[in-house]
A = this chain, B = another copy of it.
Amino acid sequence: MRKNAFYAQSGGVTAVINASAAAVIETCRQHPDRIGTLYAGRNGILGALREELIDTSLESDESIAALKHTPGGAFGSCRHKLKDIDTHLAEYERIIEVFRAHDIGYFFYNGGGDSSDTTLKMSQVAEKMGYPLTCVGIPKTVDNDLPLTDCSPGFGSVAKYIATSVMEATLDIKSMCNSSTRIFVMEVMGRHAGWIAAAAGLAQSEQAELPDGAVGHAPQVILFPEVAFDEAAFLEKVQASVDRDGFCTVVVSEGVQNADGEFLAKSGLKDVFGHTQLGGVAPLIANLIKDRLGHRYHWAVADYLQRSARHIVSATDLEHAIAVGRHAVELALEGKNASMAIIVRESDEPYHWHVGDAPLSEIANVEKFMPDNFISSDGFGITAEAKRYLKPLIKGEAPPPFKDGLPSYVTLRNELVAKKLPNSFDI
């Protein structure tokens, strides 16, 4: 039976989410007997609610292939989370109504934890309403906090960007530290889980022994959301690093918390300095060091730059993103409803992996934090186990094509198909 399909992007976008989209579209095109038109939701699930369906069949094969080297979300994403079925049934019913009008039998949702929950609920509502719909999730999150999958596409590229940037900035501060700046603080994403902060540890040398002042010591301090901020121990470690190396590179997760579980970025730490801060934990940490230890500092907040940096993606991450997109369609064609395509690791070195699947019921609403044995005993670094896990994920380069010195990114036509429903829907 031939059915149309729906694909949407959800939550914060990544440098490789469009590669998953390209793989979904290309794989659907390879099955014209089973899958008719693939519609993409304009601005994620909002596109389904508003009946704003992008007709991907109008995009050329070349444009779709170019998505593999274009960051951001090509169809628009959204921060809209579908709420409880019991209290917000109307939203689910509206989506089924739109799907029915457009003969959609496949639902592909490309996102993180919240999206897994939405995909699972969609499968439940469809079943309850007797509407035949195969719902498959495609993992995506720079936070790397999805369970069951070995890693989440998007993370490996951020990890590569952060480790590279920390290496580069450290070479800079090491040059300057003798007569100027001694402290460099870099803030990275990760509200609850410290995976991105941990990736900065890959910049450290593998050598057991390093001479004083070696850049391979850096980052000397990593602050994880999983470890309560201990001001005294932190300052002691920073000063010891300056004494030994002449400088200290600090990587701080945006989600670092004090012992009471409050985000430092919003906590009472401001009172310590008498300052109120405008957002950003990096300047706060930098000021703390200046205030207590007297060192000159620089700080950086990479923000969107880290997750959109298509110019320095990990080839491994890109392969993962394509593989889960393709496998999601295969799972749908096999009738594996309420599942998610996942990455399964076979070995660390040499790195071998394959795609598999897991039930959404075991993924939705579960956050994967850094295991204890990935964080060093002093709480300020990563262990050999963490490096073994992280290293394969940043391997390989896959730069985009450049034109006149800048990356050549594609813009799709994104034409909406004509609406079939008479009514609009209040969101």
**Shortest beta-carbon distance from A2 to chain B in Å:** 31
Residues of B contacting A180 in the complex (Cβ-Cβ under 8 angstroms)? 78-79
Residues of B contacting A78 in the complex (Cβ-Cβ under 8 angstroms)? 176, 178-180
A178: contacting residue among B76, B214, B279, B411, CB under 8 A: B76
Q: Is the CB of A303 closer than 8 A to any CB of chain B?
A: yes
Residues of B contacting A307 in the complex (Cβ-Cβ under 8 angstroms)? 172
Q: Is the CB of A276 closer than 8 A to any CB of chain B?
A: yes
Stretch at the interface among A227-235, A325-333, A376-384, A388-396: A388-396
Residues of B contacting A163 in the complex (Cβ-Cβ under 8 angstroms)? 405-406
- In the bound complex, how far is the Cα of B90 from the Cα of A368, in angstroms? 63
Residues of B contacting A282 in the complex (Cβ-Cβ under 8 angstroms)? 301
Scoring A275, A279, A298, A407 by chain B CB atoms within 10 A of each residue's CB, the highest score goes to A279
Q: Is the CB of A241 closer than 8 A to any CB of chain B?
A: no
Number of interface residues of A (CB under 8 A): 81
Residue contact B399 to A394, C-beta cutoff 8 Å: no
Residue contact A405 to B411, C-beta cutoff 8 Å: no
Instruction: Add 14 more A-B contacts to A71-B172, A280-B299, A394-B405 (CB < 8 A).
Output: A13-B172, A43-B178, A43-B179, A80-B179, A164-B311, A165-B309, A172-B307, A186-B305, A202-B405, A275-B276, A276-B276, A302-B305, A316-B405, A397-B402
Q: What are 13 A-B interface contacts by the 8 Å CB criterion?
A: A9-B175, A71-B172, A76-B174, A76-B178, A167-B407, A169-B305, A172-B307, A172-B308, A275-B278, A278-B287, A279-B283, A299-B303, A395-B404
3 nearest CB pairs, A to B: A72-B171, A73-B175, A394-B405
Q: What residues of chain A have their CB less than 8 Å away from a CB belonging to chain B?
A: 9, 12-13, 15, 43-44, 46, 70-74, 76-80, 160, 163-165, 167-176, 178-180, 184, 186, 202-203, 214-215, 273, 275-280, 282-284, 286-287, 298-305, 307-312, 314, 316, 391, 394-397, 399, 402, 404-407, 409, 411
